[in-house]
Amino acid sequence: MRLRWPLTGRNEELATIGAAMSDTDSGGVVIRGAAGVGKSRITREALAHAAEKGCTTHLAVATSSARTVPLGALATWVTPGMDGPQVVRLMVDALTSTSPGGTVIVGVDDVHLLDDLSAFVLHRSSDVGPQNSC
């Protein structure tokens, strides 16, 4: 059993993030702040709340070491043999697949550390079409 500390004192922030994620006119949410204030934790918590409401959620984690690797932040969704021009389409499909009428929310931790190809795939993923709220 994996133990997880409860998140306390962040209800207002979670409500704001949840409202933005549920707004079909919203293009995204940026969580910013100084190092160590809990941005990664609140991102994970917000994604968990969205998943509880029926959304399909993904979390990409960008790191300085993965920045030199094409699709480094999205390595979880890369399958062997993915290369060439079709890789972007395959990655977009992998990140946006959900049940009919479903909503996909992709969180990116440390977005400023994304490699160029991961950033491009995420940008293309946001263009897939209208999303329903969850």
Q: Is the pLDDT of residue 25 over 90?
A: no
Which two three-digit tokens encode residue 81?
């043999």
- On whether residue 2 sits in a domain, the answer given is no
The 10s digit of each residue's pLDDT in 36-69 is 888 889 899 899 989 999 889 999 999 999 999 8
Q: Read off the pTM.
A: 0.80
- On whether residue 3 sits in a domain, the answer given is no
The candidate with the shortest Cα–Cα distance to 74, out of 125, 39, 35, is 125
- On whether residue 130 sits in a domain, the answer given is no
Domain containing residue 87: 11-125
pLDDT of amino acid 131 = 56
Is there a contact between 23 and 133 (Cβ–Cβ < 8 Å)? yes
CA torsion sign, 127 to 128 to 130 to 132? negative
Q: Is the pLDDT of residue 73 over 80?
A: yes
The 10s digit of each residue's pLDDT in 78-117 is 777 766 667 888 888 888 888 887 888 889 999 999 999 9
Quote the number of domains for the chain.
Answer: 1
